[in-house]
Amino acid sequence: MKPKDVQVFPIATDTLVLRSRTWERLKFEIEYALQRGTTANSYLIQGEKIALIDPPGESFTEIFLNALKERIDPTTIDYVIVGHVNPNRGETLKALLEIAPQITIVCSNPGAILLPNILLPQFPAQLKVIKGEDTFLDLGKGHQLGFIPTPNPRYPAQLCTYDPKTEILFTDKLFGSHVCGDQVFDEGWKIYAEDRRYYFDCLIAPYAKQVATGLEKLSQKPARIYATGHGPLVKYGLKELTLSYQQWLTNQKSQALSVALIYASAYGNTATLAQAIARGITKAGVGVESINAEVAQPEEIKEAINQCSGFIFGSPTLGGHAPTQIQTALGITLANADKTKLAGVFGSFGWSGEAIDLLESKFRDGGYRFGFDPIRVKFKPTDATLKTCEEAGTDFAQAVKKAQKSRKPKASVNESQTARTEQALGRIVGSLCIVTCQQEDVGGAMLASWVSQATFNPPGFTVAVAKERAIESLLYTGSPFVLNILREGEHIGLMKHFLKPFGPGEDRFEGIETETAENGSPILKDALAYLECQVGDRMECGDHWVIYGVTKKGQVLHDGVTAVHHRKSGNHY
C-alpha cells in the first residue's frame, strides 16, 4: 500500500490544487465503502492577496502543512475559505492558525456559528461571513471570488466558491468521488462513472430537494472546471456529470413514497448511521427527506411528518438524555403523525443509550409500528454496523411499499396484451443459483434465477440483482463473489433457506455447510457446481442491476443436472 502524500499541480492562472491522497479506505462511513481510497482536494489562489480553499481533515494535517510550506510561507496567506465546517477539518485549521494567526476565515453564516467551539483555543480568529450571493472577495489580478451557499442537512454550512477569471467552480462536496489515483483531471471520465454514482447515492441522494436548489444557483455560473472536494477534478465530463446529477435528483424527488429521517449528531456517529439508513431506503426506490433537527425549523419538521409515508428518528445520548432539538421534534411528530405511519429508531452513545430508549418507548406508547428493531451503536460504527443500518433502511422502505400496496384496490386480471406479454416473458427459463460473497466482516447471499452465460473469452456470465437486495452493495466492479449452481432434486432446502427474510445484519449462512473459496467467498458444499468470480462491470437496468461476472475458476461438486426455474408470469420471480 502506498503511503499518504500530497500531489501539487497547477490547474489555471495563479491557481494550484493540493491533493492530499490516501489509497486506504480512510473512514468507516458508507460513502467510503468501495475502498478505493480518496483525495482531499485543497486549492491555493495567488493573486495580490492569497486564498486557501478547503484545507483537508486531520488525517492529512501534517503532510498537507508540510506540502503547503514548500510552496508558500503560510504567514502570507490572507484568507482560508471553508466550504463546510466540521471537527475533522477543524484540526487542520487549528494547526494552521497556530503558525499563521493573521488568516481571516471565510465561511457561511451557519459555519460562523459552528466554528467557535471547533477552533478553541485558537478562536477568536478573524471572520468574514458570507450571508448571501452578493458578497465578493477581491484577491487582485482579476480574481474576484463570488460565493454560493448550498446548505443541506448533513452540511448546513456548505459554501461553493466561484472564480470568474478562471471559470473554476469550487464545489466542496458536490460532484466528487472517493477514488485515489494520479489523474488530476477526469480524462477518460467514463471510468469514474461508477464511483461518482455511488458517491451521489450515498452522500447526495438523501438531500435531493436541497441539492437541487443548490444546483439551480450553480447553473448561473459559467464553469469550465468543477474543483471538487474529493477525487479527480471535473473538466472533460463536466456537461455529462451535470446532466446526470440533474436526472438523478429528479428521480429522487419524483418517488411516490418518502421517509422522513430526523436526527441530531453530537460527534458525527449518529449522522453516519443516518447516512447508511438513508442509502438503504433510496436503493429500494423510496425517497428520503433527511432533516437535521439541530438546524431545522419546527414547521419544516411538521411538513415532513405530514407528507411522509413513515419516519425514523436518530439521536445521540448526552448526559443521559436526548438533545433538546430531538425532544422538540419528537413532540411535533407525536402531535401530527398518523398512527398508520411506520416508525424507526436508531442512535449512538458512549456509555448509555437512554435517548434511544426514550424514543422507542414514546413511539410504542403512541401506538406506532416499527419498521425495524431499534439500532443501538456504542461509539463509532464498523463496516458490519453500517451494513446492518443499510439493510434496516431497505427493510423499512419495503415495509412502507407493502403498506401502500395493501391500500390500493386490486386490479382485475384479464387477457389484455399486457397480460399476454407477461405470460410470454415468464417462459424464459433461468438456472437456480446462490450468489455468495464475503468482504472482511460483511457477507451476503441471495437466490438468483436470472443468470446467463455472456462471454467465452474471458469466460463470463450475467446475473440480475434487484436494487433493494442487501447483497447489491457488495457487488461493485472488482468485487469477488461465488456463483453456486444448485442441483435438480437437491435444491429445495437451499432455495427455501435463502428465500426466507433475513433481519438486518443476520448471518445468511447459519446452519449451511460451506467452505471458503480462494477469493474469500463462501462455497455451498451441497451445490452442484460453483464458479469463483469477479465483477467485471455492472449496468443499471430499470429496477435491477445487471452484473457481469468474470469467472476465475470453478468446479463441479456432484453428479446431476442444474435446477431451473419455470415461471407463469414475467412480472415476478
Q: pLDDT value at position 2?
A: 85
Count of CA atoms in the C-beta half-sphere (13 A) of 520: 12
Residue-wise pLDDT for 519-555, tens only, equals 999 999 999 999 999 999 999 999 999 999 999 999 9
Res 461 pLDDT > 60: yes
Mean pLDDT lowest among 110-119, 416-425, 516-525, 529-538: 416-425
Q: Would you place residue 518 in the very low, low, confident or very high pLDDT band (cuts 50, 70, 90)?
A: very high
Answer yes or no: are the C-beta atoms of 68 and 143 closer than 8 Å.
no
CA distance to 24, 480, 484, 571, per residue, from 452 (Å): 35, 18, 13, 19
Q: What percent of the chain has pLDDT over 90?
A: 88
Higher pLDDT, 420 or 198: 198
For the 5-252 domain, the top CATH level (class) is alpha beta
Cell of 366: 403512541
Bridge-based pairing state of the strands 258-263 and 310-314: parallel
Q: Where are the domains of the chain?
A: 5-252, 257-406, 423-565
Q: pLDDT value at position 120?
A: 77
Residue environment code for 236-274, b if the CB has 16+ CB neighbours within 10 A, otherwise e: bbbeebbebbeebbeebeebebbbbbbbbbbebbbbbbb
Same fold: 257-406 with 423-565: no
Q: pLDDT value at position 124?
A: 63
Closest CA to 11 of 234, 164, 242: 234
Q: pLDDT value at position 492?
A: 95
Residue-wise pLDDT for 350-373, tens only, equals 888 899 999 999 999 999 999 999
Q: pLDDT value at position 532?
A: 98
Q: pLDDT value at position 411?
A: 53
Res 434 pLDDT > 90: yes
Q: Would you place residue 412 in the very low, low, confident or very high pLDDT band (cuts 50, 70, 90)?
A: low
Mean local confidence (pLDDT), 475-488: 97
Q: pLDDT value at position 122?
A: 67
Is 423-565 a domain of CATH 3.20.110.10? Answer: no
Q: pLDDT value at position 369?
A: 96
Res 568 pLDDT > 90: no
Closest CA to 325 of 352, 348, 292: 292
Architecture of domain 257-406: 3-Layer(aba) Sandwich (3.40)
Residue-wise pLDDT for 299-346, tens only, equals 999 999 999 999 999 999 998 999 999 999 999 999 999 999 999 999
Q: pLDDT value at position 116?
A: 86
Which helix (H) or strand (E) is 145 found in, with range? strand 144-149
Q: pLDDT value at position 132?
A: 81
If you compute the radius of gyration of the chain from its CA atoms, what whole number of angstroms results? 25
Q: pLDDT value at position 551?
A: 98
Closest CA to 501 of 394, 415, 379: 394
Res 413 pLDDT > 70: no
Residue-wise pLDDT for 273-300, tens only, equals 999 999 999 999 999 999 999 999 999 9
CA distance to 60, 154, 446, 496, 497, per residue, from 501 (Å): 43, 32, 11, 10, 9
Q: pLDDT value at position 131?
A: 86
Q: Would you place residue 572 in the very low, low, confident or very high pLDDT band (cuts 50, 70, 90)?
A: confident
Q: pLDDT value at position 171?
A: 98
Q: pLDDT value at position 418?
A: 77
Q: What percent of the chain has pLDDT over 70?
A: 98
Mean local confidence (pLDDT), 85-107: 93
Mean pLDDT lowest among 257-261, 405-409, 460-464: 405-409
Q: pLDDT value at position 415?
A: 57
Mean pLDDT of the chain: 94
